[in-house]
Structure 1
């Protein structure tokens, strides 16, 4: 979301932030922010019409049947109501649709965020997505999803706006990378799918976002002040990298999807017919509904024809003027024939079917909170200025025992990068000196910065709409003090002049790096880390170096949104241990103490690469700045993102993707590989025939259905309605300028389609690897087995040296204990996208495929060659 407001002295003051970055001052890469506004030849988004009808998937057939029975009886006003938000600040939630009360369908409540309930009370502030990814624990991913879904349901939220799997993390300075699960499509896909399954098990509709290519914050959005950038992505890169997690989300049955603000190949995501109609709804078989991001709706008819189903929050280009691209204008477009009735029927059916699919027709709560105020009483429609008032916050406590899950996620994500001389774990009687404001609380008070828009105290999450209010914050200072009385705290980012070290002292230094969404600028960083670069904030590097000069043993704890450069201090003799605690949420302190003092062995692994220099990345992943004209952000690095790039360029990073140490040791033995569904052909067999879709009377309805004379309630100023003053005067528009390539004839199923997520044969298990994992050390702990694939040159295209495709985590293994893990690889996992055939191509019988398993992308002792044998190196 890019436009926000606050109410001061009864006046609504809008803050439109374009986010022009300050000059880059990072000494490591002075050219990390640049202009790029020349056209990108060869990148265009072809037309794809019409929108495929939903309802043919067997898992959705019952919900679509119920929806068809209801939608067939709806008036035009009721249909338009469900597709259009009621307007900015026109209800209790960050967004809400109109209702169809005759059929028991209320205003549907949409609310942020991916890590918990935003702008609410008595909720849990869970660890962020990047933290969840670092656990490499599917069970915890699912459990966190369940907990978020339970809290959303408890607050009366129909549609929770998460998980985020875009941005992928292509740009290391990108402001919202931390909302996703990591810089790898499979890690994002598994994290997203597990979260969706967990959330929707509670009846809450999950929203996968942002579709697609929203990889930097500044200049992402088209509005009255700027044109959003165009992410120019070739077909293979789109499918193998950025689309991959969305495909798995669709396969998991996600109910809704949010379009990104930006363009892809010079067509806005919210009206890109190739992306929405062709790829999402046809090739991937998405059965749910597509919404805009907030104020990311740019046209009326064109967006409807291109596959958009819901406008959020409903307003036109400028909020709170009482106008909309849809609403009453949508009613006009139906009456004059510009938008076929069949398209509207499909839009509404998708929304209502999803509502039925999640069981929200059965005792689902209404909203009991207000995103607009923390007061118990207030205006019901604050955007109207003159609004009826009432109780808007009931202060329903939805936390349950979710702090247990939050603490478990935060703890299992903690990643041990270095541990010389086994300085960790700390003894409870060790003499500790703790430095850094990141160890303490925000001195201005809990939640004193709106949407976490500051970097004060321990960094529990980034900033922006992807946040939640903290019900409490257990700080590292508190967590350490709960375990030992031998710690002295210096909560300053400048090394105190009077501190001297004794031989037995251990310094624990806390540093961080922050980022967030573009509508807030923090310390010169407009979302993306433009001013800070990849350096630690608040002179963190100097704090570590100063401690290292005074103390012979230094432990560094890092809370960060993404990659952070460590070269100034990582090799200093005194720096013995480094822990990355990511973004831990409300349980920052005790989760860290659990690991620092050895109650739990660290088991997190890096969800991205840590470089030695920012110049190690390709030039194409820089933050782009061009205030006027449209930025052309061309993905010239293609499929070589994060560790794929480092391997391809033969660059040794400081810490590789997947790296993570433990207080114990593990080995992998007895690997075996078995064949599942044989890869008898390069391309998957044809998908089964799709089922039928709902059938409607698609004649233009009576104009009286959207006449103001049929409205029976008190009209709210600025509220967005579907009604028109004189709809009977609207004539058919036979000369509407339809887009090039427009058609109303349904296309044949794409050869790569046929099921949710794509052709069902793509997800047949091709190979299954079993491996024994044994704890060979002296302490208990968990291990992660990461499976990477290496594809043969016989496929005829360049492929990365290794690609993560699967992972599994052990239970807690006692010293000497073993566990057998099974890692399954699908046909799609060993395929490349054939841009000519437009299908996934695999090596016949898996010839030449290698499956390697290990502790990180740089440590893979198990090698299985398909058709031969497995070995441990």
Structure 2
């Protein structure tokens, strides 16, 4: 989501595709939308919404929620499901309250890497940086620190982590917010982040559900509708749904839908995805919210499973109208939204609030996302607003800079190191080039939501950012270590630079991207102008340095894949470090590695190509200004390294690649069967437990009548109340969507627990390996496990798929550590589109488990039934 600056792109007309239109929608328009769908891709109806509360981990929270919701008025229920409107409170979004029960306005706040538009908070490394660590402990630690800061600021729901975009489009604007281009890496990143965040009492939000891979044309306007991501069932399950399933399995409290459509049905009202897959098959117990202004209809979205509308406004913000709020009250009274659906919506929200212990001394918001002033309007979106203290300047940073620095440091990925030029010595003669080494000349946080590329690149731009409380630049950090460095903070190579025989040139370059509501240097979020090349003529800067200096080190801060072919093979380019997006500790984390206090241990969370043409054409950006874009995922399962392997294309650097200052040996593999795979499909899960039961009769209209007690109404604030609600009657002739039903469907065969059938997550096999530091320096190693599935499954399947990884502790020279890598039934399965269940080779016959340092460097293979060997 994003703030006011996005308003040029807000939907001005309701979108209704393959789901119910609003009562006044033109039926012909709905039929046109259906005809526009890509052939062979549709989103079948799934109604009604499955009720929640049956999962044992949530039983206590749902019991508390049931007691409260059963005594709520209609107004109180609607209040908790609808945002109060754009700029109508201290947070980027807030619901109404139910104060009789101690439930305040719930504060929802960005971002996945820190508290956005706040003060005295930590600006952590971005998700792509976290993925590059391949360190589960750091994933958890960063998540816990994020949760602690959110709670300290009074945030109820923090809007992260991100697992979509998956990074299908290498030039897509927001891939850096997630953990990488592999679903397993994304899944572990999300699960450990969620567990860390929610351990503090903060509700995490996994997003964006689903198929959101491009920034341009993501939303509906008067001219066009948000693009449709057309995804086949198997690809959906095996790639894009995989990390969401693990997030649900981790117990995430909330989920945010995407802006785009999926198979021509808008994400926020796609009944198959929300009701059928998320809430039925995956057993999601939390609540589903829209992205900001990503709700395109009222009744249709409620019936399709949306539980919370954010920020609450209708098609145009700050008009004081809403698809829900008073309109939801009306819809309940006229019978178009069943009371049972509203009860489930509210129960999910209240249960998440109880599950995280927010009924016990959870702070109220003590900051304003709208201003850094101490005092100001309480409701900035209103023309006339009461004022008061809006910022208490509570410092929530604690010692989180330590975690931030550790994440940034362990993510740094050494791609090349000829002649062991790295690490640098403190007495080396250094010449430092590039604005990416320095500070933003306009000042820290001078660009709203980091919407510029000036100075060292610490994060991309958009709603997934936070203000930097301070910034240690590479220039500052290097200067603190050595007096033998000269700095040329320019992107044009100086003509008067002299190069001594022993001089080392360190060249800083970057590649940026972000969210669509900000355009930076002609790039509307996606990298349309810059492509996959360095910004600010960075490639030319490297070449110029390489022409003059015999020893060149390149430091690259980047949001994603970049092309290095113009200079990577130049004789004088001896080393390349990818420092990703390091956040506030950019300088110190880099010098920790650059000067050898720590050995680099990051690994690439995506493939680096030799040319953009190495990718399949279907993953390119689509530019179509009119009509709904049909973005069909014809490459299917073959994204990133999966495609490179299928097409037999050698990348510049493969997925998972990362060098060290030391060397490691992986040996002594031992394969153990843990749980028998004696059937192709998992055994049926136990029946679901009971769910809360309420009186689902339409309540008295008086429950949403304006109170006779005087209170000051705030203009544009969204209330649940109606004038003359007694005049509303249930007509029974509402034009429900095709396939709409109030009869519950049988539980999905693949369901039965959070994330799916619990048997899917039984560990089938484990492999113990010994990792030994065989070099002369201390360091950490990452062991990656890839699965090769047999042809006996009868399906076209990627040759290798990452399914597990572990990172060692820091090993001294000669020191060893035993790592255990496990794979589950699901890890060895494919999605059977006919049976609608996960199918594995019986007894794992024919499965190979490859273990090593990257997808292209796998010295250990274990064949199920035969044992392990070294290649």
Tell me the TM-score normalized by structure 1.
0.96
Which deviations, in whole Å up to 9, do the C-alpha atoms of 1:722-766 show, x marking residues without a partner?
000010000112110000111111111111000000000000000
The equivalent of 2:500 in structure 1 is: 502
Correspondence 1:82-121 to 2 at 5 A: 82-121=80-119
- 2:386 corresponds to 1:388: yes
Cα distance in 1 for partners of 2:9, 2:575 equals 44
Aligned match for 2:559, one of 561, 576, 588: 561
Aligned match for 1:695, one of 693, 697, 718: 693
Which deviations, in whole Å up to 9, do the C-alpha atoms of 1:209-239 show, x marking residues without a partner?
0000000001001133431000000000000
Aligned match for 1:538, one of 518, 536, 553: 536
Cα distance in 2 for partners of 1:223, 1:462 equals 25
The equivalent of 1:24 in structure 2 is: none
Correspondence 1:457-496 to 2 at 5 A: 457-496=455-494
Structure 2 residue matching 1:479: 3-state secondary structure:
helix
The equivalent of 1:335 in structure 2 is: 333
Q: 1:216 to 1:403 in 2, by over 3 A?
A: same
The equivalent of 1:662 in structure 2 is: 660
Cα distance in 1 for partners of 2:297, 2:162 equals 25
The equivalent of 1:29 in structure 2 is: none
Cα distance in 1 for partners of 2:629, 2:281 equals 29
The equivalent of 1:260 in structure 2 is: 258
Aligned match for 2:763, one of 744, 762, 765: 765
Correspondence 1:663-682 to 2 at 5 A: 663-682=661-680
Aligned match for 2:625, one of 624, 627, 632: 627
Cα distance in 1 for partners of 2:563, 2:196 equals 35
Tell me by how many angstroms 1:38 deviates.
7.3
CA contact (8 A) 2:335 2:732 kept: yes
Cα distance in 2 for partners of 1:709, 1:762 equals 52
The equivalent of 1:600 in structure 2 is: 598
Structure 2 residue matching 1:465: 3-state secondary structure:
coil
Cα distance in 1 for partners of 2:50, 2:504 equals 63
Structure 1 residue matching 2:849: 3-state secondary structure:
strand
- 2:194 corresponds to 1:200: no
Cα distance in 2 for partners of 1:231, 1:647 equals 24
Aligned match for 2:448, one of 447, 450, 456: 450
Cα distance in 1 for partners of 2:313, 2:208 equals 20
Correspondence 1:432-831 to 2 at 5 A: 432-710=430-708, 712-831=710-829
CA contact (8 A) 2:408 2:586 kept: yes
The equivalent of 1:138 in structure 2 is: 136
Q: 1:495 to 1:5 in 2, by over 3 A?
A: closer
Tell me by how many angstroms 1:872 deviates.
1.4
Cα distance in 2 for partners of 1:500, 1:39 equals 62
Which deviations, in whole Å up to 9, do the C-alpha atoms of 1:601-624 show, x marking residues without a partner?
000000000000000000000101
Structure 2 residue matching 1:313: 3-state secondary structure:
coil
- The size of the alignment, in residue pairs, is 848
- 2:16 corresponds to 1:4: no
Tell me by how many angstroms 1:77 deviates.
0.1
The equivalent of 2:23 in structure 1 is: none
Cα distance in 2 for partners of 1:382, 1:699 equals 38
Q: 1:208 to 1:41 in 2, by over 3 A?
A: same
Tell me by how many angstroms 1:5 deviates.
4.5
Structure 2 residue matching 1:150: 3-state secondary structure:
helix
Cα distance in 2 for partners of 1:479, 1:375 equals 31
Which deviations, in whole Å up to 9, do the C-alpha atoms of 1:142-175 show, x marking residues without a partner?
0000000000000000000000000000000000
Cα distance in 2 for partners of 1:711, 1:471 equals 45
Tell me by how many angstroms 1:710 deviates.
4.9
Deviates more, 1:37-46 or 1:759-768: 37-46
The equivalent of 1:405 in structure 2 is: 403
CA contact (8 A) 1:45 1:274 kept: yes
The equivalent of 1:301 in structure 2 is: 299
CA contact (8 A) 1:464 1:519 kept: yes
Which deviations, in whole Å up to 9, do the C-alpha atoms of 1:582-604 show, x marking residues without a partner?
00000000000000000000000
Cα distance in 2 for partners of 1:370, 1:710 equals 32
The equivalent of 1:10 in structure 2 is: none
Tell me by how many angstroms 1:860 deviates.
0.3
Which deviations, in whole Å up to 9, do the C-alpha atoms of 1:775-821 show, x marking residues without a partner?
00000000000000000001110111100000000000000000000
Cα distance in 1 for partners of 2:440, 2:695 equals 60
Task: State the Cα RMSD in Å.
Answer: 1.0
The equivalent of 1:31 in structure 2 is: none
Cα distance in 1 for partners of 2:44, 2:399 equals 50
CA contact (8 A) 2:5 2:517 kept: no
Cα distance in 2 for partners of 1:673, 1:606 equals 27
The equivalent of 1:25 in structure 2 is: none
Q: 1:548 to 1:70 in 2, by over 3 A?
A: same
CA contact (8 A) 2:320 2:717 kept: yes
Which deviations, in whole Å up to 9, do the C-alpha atoms of 1:299-355 show, x marking residues without a partner?
010100000000000000000000000000000000000000000000000000000
The equivalent of 2:209 in structure 1 is: 211
CA contact (8 A) 1:2 1:16 kept: no
Cα distance in 2 for partners of 1:736, 1:157 equals 38
Structure 2 residue matching 1:482: 3-state secondary structure:
helix
Cα distance in 2 for partners of 1:224, 1:628 equals 10
Q: What 5-or-longer segments of structure 1 have no aligned partner?
A: 7-13, 19-36
Tell me by how many angstroms 1:713 deviates.
2.4
Structure 1 residue matching 2:516: 3-state secondary structure:
coil
CA contact (8 A) 2:2 2:463 kept: no
Cα distance in 2 for partners of 1:141, 1:710 equals 52
The equivalent of 1:425 in structure 2 is: 423
Structure 1 residue matching 2:707: 3-state secondary structure:
helix
Aligned match for 2:172, one of 170, 174, 179: 174
Tell me by how many angstroms 1:490 deviates.
0.2
Cα distance in 2 for partners of 1:199, 1:834 equals 34
CA contact (8 A) 1:3 1:15 kept: no
The equivalent of 2:248 in structure 1 is: 250
Tell me by how many angstroms 1:39 deviates.
4.7
Cα distance in 2 for partners of 1:749, 1:725 equals 41
CA contact (8 A) 1:224 1:317 kept: no
Cα distance in 1 for partners of 2:867, 2:481 equals 49
Q: 1:620 to 1:5 in 2, by over 3 A?
A: closer
CA contact (8 A) 1:221 1:296 kept: yes
Structure 2 residue matching 1:429: 3-state secondary structure:
coil
Structure 1 residue matching 2:311: 3-state secondary structure:
coil
Cα distance in 2 for partners of 1:851, 1:278 equals 33
Structure 1 residue matching 2:703: 3-state secondary structure:
helix
Tell me the TM-score normalized by structure 2.
0.97
Cα distance in 2 for partners of 1:396, 1:225 equals 44
Cα distance in 1 for partners of 2:9, 2:55 equals 42
Structure 2 residue matching 1:236: 3-state secondary structure:
helix
Cα distance in 2 for partners of 1:225, 1:518 equals 17
Which deviations, in whole Å up to 9, do the C-alpha atoms of 1:239-296 show, x marking residues without a partner?
0000000000000000000000000000000000000000000000000000000000
The equivalent of 2:43 in structure 1 is: 45
Cα distance in 2 for partners of 1:459, 1:56 equals 46
CA contact (8 A) 1:459 1:512 kept: yes
Cα distance in 2 for partners of 1:199, 1:39 equals 39
